[in-house]
Amino acid sequence: MFDLTEDPLDPGPVVEDVRHPGSGAIVIFLGVVRDEDHGRKVRYLEYDAYRSMAEKEMRKVGEEVLARWPAARISVRHRFGRLEVGETALVVAVSAPHRGDAFEACRYAIDRIKEIVPIWKKQVWEDGEAWLEGHPVQG
């Protein structure tokens, strides 16, 4: 499942999406809002997304993972809107028969999400705010 949501993210159901009798290893990644970035205290984050396209690109990341690791299963949730410090912005769960593949596929998926899924975040500090620039997309 590949979903973009405004609701708080719970890793539990994401894990169950990928658990099956052939999966010996499940690796879950949670991207969490940190209280600090480059020495500046973060109050909260605001995520903007091109929603319909973001879900489409998340599915594309899933297809890439399955092309590389055919025995893997993957499920992804990304949140948007306002997120407080300590809240979860991204959950990626990957299962595979063996843990090496599950770890590699999970890292691959995160890297690709950060490269192609059109989502942006604004950091809001005590004394200002800014939209963060990440990866330029290769058109």
Partner 1 sequence: MKVKVRLFAGLKDLVGGPEITVDLEEGATVRGLEDQLGREYPRLKPLLASLAFAVDEEYKARDYTLRDDDEVALVPPISGGCDV
Binding interface with its own copies (CB under 8 A): 10-12, 15, 19-36, 85-86, 95, 97, 99, 102-103, 106-107, 110
70 binds partner 1 (CB under 8 A): no
- Give the DSSP H or E segment for 42: strand 40-49
The answer to the question of residue 19 lying near partner 1 (CB under 8 A) is: no
In this complex, which beta carbon is closest to partner 1, that of residue 93 or of residue 119?
Answer: 119
User: Which residues on adjacent β-strands are paired with residue 129?
Assistant: 124
Stretch that binds partner 1, among 8-16, 66-74, 112-120 (CB under 8 A): 112-120
Residue 97: phi, psi to the nearest 5? -60, -35
- Residue closer to its own copies (CB basis): 103 or 125: 103
Q: Which residue has the tokens 């809001």?
A: 124
Nearest to 62 by CA among 28, 11, 109: 109
Kindly state the tokens that stand for 88: 């979860």
Q: Binding to partner 1 (CB under 8 A): which residues in 76-105?
A: 78, 89-90, 97-99
Tokens representing 111 are 């890297």
Q: Is 113 in the site for partner 1 (CB under 8 A)?
A: yes
